[in-house]
Structure 1
Amino acid sequence: MIRRKDTRRMAKRPTKPTKSVEPRRAGRGPSPEKTAQTRRVIIDAALGEFLENGYADTTMDGVARRAGVAKGTSYRYFPAKEALFEAVVREKIAGALIDADPANRRPDEPVSTFIRRTMLVSIREIERNGRAAIARLVLVEGARFPEMTEIYRRAMFEPLLKQIRDLAATARARGELRRPELEDYPHLLIAPIWFAIIHNGLLDRAHPLDIGDLFEAHLDLVFDA
């Protein structure tokens, strides 16, 4: 005798309808303006810390306290002190390179006039805006912290030399320079600046040189030679 299967056991259980889960909306972060402002505040604080304490004794904690932000916030923008120093150099120090870009020279403007209109104006402020102090910091602590020197060389020194070399080539082509040395050695133009930075900060603080006047006198010698 064949027994019938219990169809009740084989019946499929009704499936429960699945509920659609809406993705959780991410919370709104700070606006781009607020982000940029926070970044500027941290960089300003870092400049103050570097100038007051030097590179070795500047800490991310100190920068955060000075900026009035949480330590985690400063790390969110700058993962290490090296990155923070590079931001200071690029935005507070190397920013002067923008005006002196040879592309900004007027078509008929003499190169020496362009240098006076751009570089000389910036150089006259070099002691007041922290640029000279950062240069001294690199001179004093760069041997212990080679990453400082590399950052300064890459962000400030080499771009400036390229600008001077390009300007010297233009001046030679226009007949403003009779000799080729400035094109071959663009360091010649900024040598008095570095001498004055060393003199004012290390050699004779009691009798500082006017870096702007020294550079202007040197500029006259270079273009009159």
Structure 2
Amino acid sequence: MAALDRRPSEARNGELQKRKRSPSAEKTAQTRHMIVSAALAEFLERGFARATMEAVARRAGVAKGTPYRYFPTKEALFEAVVRQEIASAVVEVNVANRSPGEKVGAFLRRTMSPAMEVVERQGRAALARLVLTEGVRFPVLVEIYRREMFDPLLNQLRYLAKSAREGGELKSDALVDHPELLIAPIWYGIVHNGLLDRSQPLDIGALFQTNLDLLFDQ
């Protein structure tokens, strides 16, 4: 009988010990975020080829093997960086966030324009340049970026272009045929600022706004 009385207490003690050993979900998410943020800094400073998981761990302030608990390879870590630092822009332009009756042009100015104004400061432009410069040696970077960022964004813009034509907002059908026109100035600005002329950087936000003025009726 005494043994039976001890079982609930023993079970509780075992559960407490388990909780002490296992990190909380909040702690796990925080560590993961720290690793991904450190990886972004490492990739931008050293490039993908020279970056190492050990260096990422040092930047994040975690043990050398900790990044591998979350990301089995450097490619998987890069994918997480793209998702955390860049793919959020796709969420902002999601058509589900468009208010009832809101014109497409106004929606793009409300969602994409603010993102383009800080694209350089937030490191998104630099990460895109990393894909451009190292994508030939590491095609997986291009595949990750295309799958996580480029294709979803282009699909959203394609739908919005058709909606804009139906609403009579466009100056021509060019945007419906080539939705890439919306992001072409962004990519030109990214290439210009990092590769063509770093001494005279372009305002990518202004380029995007000007492009909207050219494509949409006011």
| TM-score relative to the length of structure 2 | 0.90
Structure 1 residue 70, shift from structure 2 partner: 1.1
Structure 1 residue 118, shift from structure 2 partner: 0.3
How far apart, CA to CA, are the structure 2 residues paired with 1:117 and 1:178? Answer: 20
Structure 1 residue 180, shift from structure 2 partner: 2.6
Alignment of 1:173-192 (within 5 A): 173-192=166-185
Matching residue of 2:89: 96
Which amino acid is 2:170 matched to?
A: L
Matching residue of 1:213: 206
How far apart, CA to CA, are the structure 2 residues paired with 1:59 and 1:76? Answer: 15
How far apart, CA to CA, are the structure 2 residues paired with 1:86 and 1:183? Answer: 30
5+ residue gaps, structure 1, are 1-20
Matching residue of 1:27: 18
Give the number of aligned pairs: 205
Matching residue of 1:49: 42
Structure 1 vs Structure 2 CA RMSD:
1.7
5+ residue gaps, structure 2, are 1-6
Between stretches 39-48 and 23-32, larger displacement belongs to 23-32
SS of equivalent to 1:71 = coil
Change beyond 3 A, Cα 1:203–1:63:
same
Matching residue of 2:4: none
Decide whether the 8 Å contact of 2:172 with 2:215 is kept in 1. no
SS of equivalent to 1:117 = helix
Structure 1 residue 177, shift from structure 2 partner: 1.8
Provide the identity percentage.
62
How far apart, CA to CA, are the structure 1 residues paired with 2:114 and 2:208? Answer: 11
Which amino acid is 1:77 matched to?
A: Y
Which is higher, the Rg of structure 1 or of structure 2? 1
Aligned match of 1:110 in 96, 103, 106? 103
Moved over 3 A (4+): 21-26
SS of equivalent to 2:23 = coil
* Superposed CA offset, 1:94-126 (max 9, x none): 111111111111111111011000001001000
Aligned match of 2:159 in 161, 166, 169? 166
More helix by share: 2
| TM-score relative to the length of structure 1 | 0.87
Which amino acid is 2:201 matched to?
A: P
Structure 1 residue 161, shift from structure 2 partner: 0.2
Aligned match of 1:197 in 185, 190, 203? 190
How far apart, CA to CA, are the structure 1 residues paired with 2:108 and 2:195? Answer: 28
Between stretches 147-156 and 180-189, larger displacement belongs to 180-189
